Amino acid sequence: MTGKPERMTGARAFVECLYRENVEVLFGYPGGVLLPIYDELYDAHLHHLLVRHEQAAVHAAEGYARATGKVGVCLATSGPGATNLVTGIANAYMDSIPLVAFTGQVPSSMLGNDAFQEANITGITMPITKHNYLVQDAKDLPRIIKEAFHIASTGRPGPVLIDMPKDVTTDEIDFVYPDKVELRGYKPTYKGNSQQIKRAASAIAKSKRPVIYAGGGVIGSDASKELLSFAEKIRAPVTTTLTGIGGFPNDNELYLGMPGMHGTKYANYAIQESDLLIAVGARFDDRVTGKLKSFAPNAKIIHIDIDPAEISKNITVDIPIVGDAKNILKSLLPHVSECDTKEWLDKIAIWKRDFPLHYINREDAIKPQYIIEQINEACPDAIIVTEVGQHQMWAAQYFKYKEPRTFITSGGLGTMGYGFPAAIGAKLGRPDKVVFDVSGDGSFQMNSQEMATIVQNDIPIIIALFNNGYLGMVRQWQALFFEHRYSHTTIEDSVDFVKLAEAYGALGIRVEKPSDVRPAIEKAIEANRPVILDFIVEREENVSPMVPAGAAINEILDLERTQ
Amino acid sequence: MKHTLAVLVENKYGVLTRVAGLFSRRGFNIDSLAVGITEDPTISRMTIVVRGDEHVLEQVTKQLNKLIEVIRVTDLGADESVERELALIKVNTDASNRAEIIQIVDIFRARIIDVASKSVTIEVTGDANKIKAIQTLLRPFGIKEMARTGKVALTRGSKSS
């Protein structure tokens, strides 16, 4: 910038700041207090995607962030618009996704008066944001936006919310965008402590039965290549958490699949019998660890994480290394060499042979696992986004992900209704990819109104809907632990999804026979337009294997064999 | 086990809520929290007394450090710090027992800061034990009201916290 700073309104400054942050897509929904901003957006060179519900805006922004690695951005009006973002913000917080959420707010002079469409959104979101702001003076807006993008995308990523009273958007300021951020209390550690790295290398050298346990942090820090080099160099098997899926190529011989409640038997057995567990960018979630006291009982634990608060939060760690996963793996590589793991890998190979993921296919009913396998064969490079439930676990188990950011799912919060809008964000971020929303009939109905969004904007997403007429995962638990008393989990015949697709102007295809599965998938890919594939699947198929909540992770139920 | 933490924070709107909210959300138990501005007007100092074992202390410290507006967290071990609390105690009194109350106040090096016909208000500073002790001695006279600040503390010597 040369000469005097340009004089402009807060609304104009908002748009300028988004330009400076290279924001390409903004997911939003207008409202009264946002009118000055929407008026500026009318002429702005920004792709604003109008959703049909603010929850979809935040999920879409998150899907965009996960698919691209960039910061996702969403915008909602005050009061109900803002509170509709809450679930999505919490979702981003739990899975450490970089997100900046903007909300409109009533004018400063009316704050606290219970004015029309007023909600204390900074108060509401304090526990579910990495940080949040109520802008009190328009001249602070550029600095705050700069800080928000910095905070969201650095250290352990997370959501940041900026609440903008209406007068902040109408007041005039001299626009200056800061070059750098100065936050004296915020200095993330990126480089691992060299002594701890040497200690880790020494523990690795002594290990006979190591297991690498990689989480979403590997994807967040773009450390997949380093993880592959590291695992291959020390010859250690790798298991990835739900949000870590894609962080290690699934077709690699060292890959063990996912651990935990619906993990593979061999991943769980390997963790339990390991003498060294190397956690990389993974928190020890209860869905992974099962009974904490019995988790990896004989293993020393190395924990690499950018967030010091994750170290020894749930599991006592022997060698903590705080820093960025990519940096630390790079630093660790020269200090390690091939471990003597032949015997260990042979043992794991026997577990893999004896306890593979499996299901019994049938010719007269469509098995959900079969659909995932067919999507994988038809489109191995697709981005798979999921809702939450049984279909989510099958998508995690049966698709062979080869690269990061191709599996997008709600991990920590388990948000039904997440997948479809997240798929919209993923498709806008990666238009070169075929994007599937793998969905249950229950989850899909939580945000199915977004069909209007994808049709209006011609966004070709394939919704692979596993229609079993149940809220499937809850039904599974009722079957196993509540004597098949299916209390309020039956939703059959509630909607004709083909007609729903057609009502919105999309393509609807019902699939009732296994032999029609593959042709329908291919037809949907070829159509290159919004499609609902309504797969009528085996109604009471269970996700297997399963570790009951609170059990040790090697106490596994093999449901198919006991049915 | 009680721990005293010195927490330096940005002197900004909403910081106290963030800190207090963190404690309630994570289930940490605050015994007392005192906050005030420091010699630098952009920084406030919070003195937080938290109850819990070493694991709780570690998590409290780490979670506090995650807050963007928290500048520094220091665990003030009892041996290395000076700590005080202020209490105002309003006690029922009459002509027959006023002298006895004044005697107690003198022994504790406290001060009477207000006198009325039927009450006196006493200012006392010290550690929690001292305040507890004077409270025990004054209770028989009838304590009408009491206000305590919570503990404030600094490291002993020239080191800063």
* Residue A259 within any structural domain of the chain: yes
**Residue A563: pLDDT over 60:** no
pLDDT, greater one: B80 or B132: B132
Q: Give A490-500 pLDDT, tens digit per residue.
A: 999 889 999 99
* Residue A189 within any structural domain of the chain: no
* Residue A541 within any structural domain of the chain: no
- Do both A436 and A473 map to the same domain? yes
Q: Please, which pLDDT band fits residue B157 given cuts at 50, 70 and 90? A: confident
- In contact, A30 and A52? CB cutoff 8 Å: no
Q: Please, which pLDDT band fits residue A24 given cuts at 50, 70 and 90? A: very high
Is there a contact between A127 and B66 if contact means CB atoms under 8 Å apart? no
Q: Give A467-525 pLDDT, tens digit per residue.
A: 999 999 999 999 999 999 999 999 998 899 999 999 999 999 999 999 999 999 999 99
- Do both A220 and A146 map to the same domain? no
> Average pLDDT of chain A?
96
- Do both A273 and A320 map to the same domain? yes
Q: Which residues of B touch A311 (CB under 8 A)?
A: 62
Structural domain count of chain A: 3
Is there a contact between B18 and A126 if contact means CB atoms under 8 Å apart? yes
- Non-local (6+) Cβ contacts of A331 within 8 A are A191, A192, A194, A197
- Do both A58 and A18 map to the same domain? yes
Q: Is the peptide bond between A545 and the residue preceding it cis, with omega within 30 degrees of 0? A: yes
Q: According to the model, what pLDDT value does residue A308 have? A: 95
d(CA A166, nearest CA chain B) in Å: 19
Within an 8 Å CB–CB cutoff, is residue B71 touching chain A?
A: yes
Q: According to the model, what pLDDT value does residue A530 have? A: 98
Average pLDDT of the segment spanning A300-320:
95
Out of A174, A204, A229, pick the residue that ends a domain: A174
**Residue A281: pLDDT over 70:** yes
- Do both A140 and A286 map to the same domain? no
Domains of chain B in start order, with CATH, are 2-76 (3.30.70.260), 84-155 (3.30.70.1150)
- Residue A458, both tokens: 């011609």
Q: Give A91-142 pLDDT, tens digit per residue.
A: 999 999 999 999 999 999 999 999 999 999 999 999 999 999 999 999 999 9
Query: What is the per-residue burial (b if ≥16 Cβ within 10 Å, else e) of A237-266?
Result: bbbbbbbbbbbbbbeeebbbbbbbbbbbbb
**Residue B9: pLDDT over 50:** yes
Q: Which residues of B touch A312 (CB under 8 A)?
A: 55, 58
* Residue A555 within any structural domain of the chain: no
- Do both A405 and A327 map to the same domain? no
Which of A127, A136, A185 lies closest to B25 in CB terms?
A127
Q: Give A314-348 pLDDT, tens digit per residue.
A: 999 999 999 999 999 999 999 999 989 999 999 99
d(CA A474, nearest CA chain B) in Å: 27
* Residue A552 within any structural domain of the chain: no
- Do both A323 and A345 map to the same domain? yes
The residue whose two tokens read 């962080």 is A247
Average pLDDT of the segment spanning B129-137:
95
Within an 8 Å CB–CB cutoff, is residue A186 touching chain B?
A: yes
**Residue A374: pLDDT over 90:** yes
Q: Give A407-430 pLDDT, tens digit per residue.
A: 999 999 999 999 999 999 999 999
Q: According to the model, what pLDDT value does residue A562 have? A: 41
Q: Please, which pLDDT band fits residue A561 given cuts at 50, 70 and 90? A: very low
- Do both A346 and A451 map to the same domain? no
Is there a contact between A309 and B62 if contact means CB atoms under 8 Å apart? yes
**Residue A1: pLDDT over 70:** no
* Residue A549 within any structural domain of the chain: no
Out of A142, A174, A206, pick the residue that ends a domain: A174
Q: Give A425-458 pLDDT, tens digit per residue.
A: 999 999 999 999 999 999 999 999 999 999 999 9
- Do both A388 and A494 map to the same domain? yes
**Helix residue ranges, H only, A192-332:** 194-206, 216-220, 224-234, 265-273, 286-289, 325-332
Average pLDDT of the segment spanning A258-265:
95
> Average pLDDT of chain B?
93
- Do both A208 and A326 map to the same domain? yes
**Residue B79: pLDDT over 90:** no
Out of A355, A380, A398, pick the residue that ends a domain: A355
Is there a contact between B68 and A131 if contact means CB atoms under 8 Å apart? yes
Q: How far apart are CA A409 and CA A498, in angstroms?
A: 25
Q: Give A149-192 pLDDT, tens digit per residue.
A: 999 999 999 999 999 999 999 999 999 999 999 999 999 999 99
d(CA A188, nearest CA chain B) in Å: 9
* Residue A395 within any structural domain of the chain: yes
Which of B10, B21, B25 lies closest to A185 in CB terms?
B10
| CA torsion through residues A387, A391, A392, A395, sign | negative
Which of B9, B10, B58 lies closest to A312 in CB terms?
B58
- Domain residue limits at A70: 7-174
- Residue count of chain A, please give it: 563
The residue whose two tokens read 């997370």 is A158
Is there a contact between B62 and A127 if contact means CB atoms under 8 Å apart? no
Within an 8 Å CB–CB cutoff, is residue A185 touching chain B?
A: yes
Q: Which residues of A touch B62 (CB under 8 A)?
A: 308-309, 311
Q: Which of A365-379, A548-562, B2-16 is predicted with the least confidence, judged by mean pLDDT? A: A548-562
* CATH number of the domain that residue A347 is part of: 3.40.50.1220
- In contact, A74 and A27? CB cutoff 8 Å: yes
Q: Determine the residue of chain A that is closest to B22 in CA distance.
A: A127
DSSP character at residue A43: T
* Residue A550 within any structural domain of the chain: no
* CATH number of the domain that residue A480 is part of: 3.40.50.970
DSSP character at residue B69: T
Q: How far apart are CA A131 and CA A151, in angstroms?
A: 8
**Residue B136: pLDDT over 60:** yes
Where in A371-470 does DSSP place strands (E)?
A: 383-386, 407-408, 435-440, 461-467
Collapsing DSSP to helix, strand or coil, A98 comes out as coil
Proportion of chain B above pLDDT 70, given as a percent: 99
**Residue A63: pLDDT over 90:** yes
Where in A361-431 does DSSP place strands (E)?
A: 383-386, 407-408
- Do both A99 and A238 map to the same domain? no
**Best B13, B61, B68, B73 residue to mutate vs chain A (most A CBs within 10 Å):** B68
ipTM of this complex: 0.89
Would you give the end-to-end CA distance of chain B in angstroms?
21
Q: Which of A8-12, A365-369, A558-562, B32-36 is predicted with the least confidence, judged by mean pLDDT? A: A558-562
The catalytic residues of A are: 54, 116-117, 166, 473
- Do both A153 and A214 map to the same domain? no
